[in-house]
Amino acid sequence: LCFSSCSPKGFPKLKNDTFLRAARGEETEHTPVWCMRQAGRYLPEFRETRAAQDFFATCRSPKLCCELTLQPLRRFPLDAAIIFSDILVVPQVRAVAGGWERGWVWDCYSILSRSQALGMEVVMVPGKGPTFPEPLKEVEDLLKLRQKVDVTAELGYVFQAITLTRHSLEGKVPLIGFSGAPWTLMSYMIEGGGSTTMSKAKSWLYRHPEASHQLLRLLADVVTDYLVGQVAAGAQALQLFESHAGHLGPEQFQEFALPYIRDIARGVKSKLKAEALPLVPMIVFAKDAHYALGDLAQAGYEVVGLDWTIRPQEARAQTGKNITLQGNLDPCALYAPKEKIGELVKKMLEGFGTQRYIANLGHGLYPDMNPEHVGAFVEAVHAHSRHINKH
């Protein structure tokens, strides 16, 4: 498709709405399935596409983001696409002619990317991941961050990628947009990268609770506007990733994560209504937050995502009958023989039931996974759920 001819209007009619119906709690003929990180390095065509330029340049190209989003749909009968991007939505230092311009943008990991943070810089270090050379250390560092963000101006190329992809899907399946959640973003900004303990970020919660809330509120406001912008651009569902929820205990989660998760759902729905935009289903995925499933089910999201460390029956008991669940096969199960994958999928479906349920992994696909095994997972979900529904 010609990029310049695409606009967030006149999208092709949706042919497969199974994912959206399941998200809304409506009856489906089969259980829909998609995979977190379904566009990624496990696909040889992904590696080939990415070989031409670094990751940072790829993420800034709507055409390449569209291509990478579509690649798994060409291989597998998935029931949803998710826009190619990265889990982090953070303030960024972005390259422009004549120097560096500070602003918020949606970015992907890149070997040479200077990105992420309101006036902060992050680089992708091989073998280590995203690294902030100068992370937030003290409360005074918050003064360096921009307080006003125009997401339309700063995130335009992401919105363009969503619009282009929505047209290019030709109505085959719905398109999901997503964002990182405030606590997860805050933890990266303070830790300076990944961490097994998140001790630096958590220390802020104990030492500087007021400043922590100030930062979390800023992040929540930008994430809300960013998600609304994705819907305006054509996203048909949204997922919020609280990937570092497991580093918090119940009390800290209640104070520093859950309120902002709730506010984002409330704010997105309010702004969508005010702007006469579609009220799309929203998914919250708080990894390792078993203690909070009941609260998450009441947080304003139609779908609650699950990691692989909780039994389906326990999740149902905590969330009730009016929430759609998503998950939760252990990603490493895809290393098993195809026959075993089918057995595990069947057991998972029997545990969750085939209605008010979206099949997925309990986390993302890994780079060394065999695409044929991903296909076996998708096909097993469809086959077994159809069989269960008939009998």
Pure H helices in 147-198? 151-154, 156-168, 182-191
- Assign 283 a pLDDT band (cuts: 50, 70, 90): very high
| Any domain includes 137 | yes
DSSP calls for 266-302: HHHHHHHHHTT-----EEEEETT-GGGHHHHHTTT-S
Domain around 312: 31-94+113-337+357-370
In a domain, 169, yes or no: yes
Q: Is 353 left (phi over 0), alpha (psi -120 to 50) or beta?
A: left
Domain membership flag for residue 205: yes
The DSSP letter of residue 14 is P
**Does the pLDDT value for residue 334 go beyond 60?**
yes
pLDDT at 114 over 70: no
Position 102 in a domain: no
What mean pLDDT is reported for the chain?
Answer: 88
What pLDDT does residue 346 have? 98
pLDDT tens per residue across span 141-164: 988 876 777 888 777 888 999 999
**Domain harbouring 61, CATH code:** 3.20.20.210
The number of domains in the chain is: 1
Could you give the dihedral angle defined by the CA atoms of residues 305, 307, 309 and 310, in that order, rounded to the nearest 10 degrees?
10
Catalytic amino acids? 37, 41, 50, 86, 188
Kindly state whether residue 342 falls inside one of the protein's structural domains: no
Is residue 1 included in any domain, yes or no? no
Average pLDDT over residues 61-84: 96
Q: Is the pLDDT of residue 107 over 60?
A: no
Q: How far is CA 85 from CA 36, 68, 160, in A?
A: 12, 9, 13
pTM: 0.92
Residue at 162 is within a domain? yes
Is 345 inside any structural domain?
A: no
pLDDT digits (tens, 9 = 90+) for 160-196: 999 999 999 999 999 999 999 999 999 988 998 888 9
Start-to-end CA span in the chain (Å): 43
SS3 of 15, please?
coil
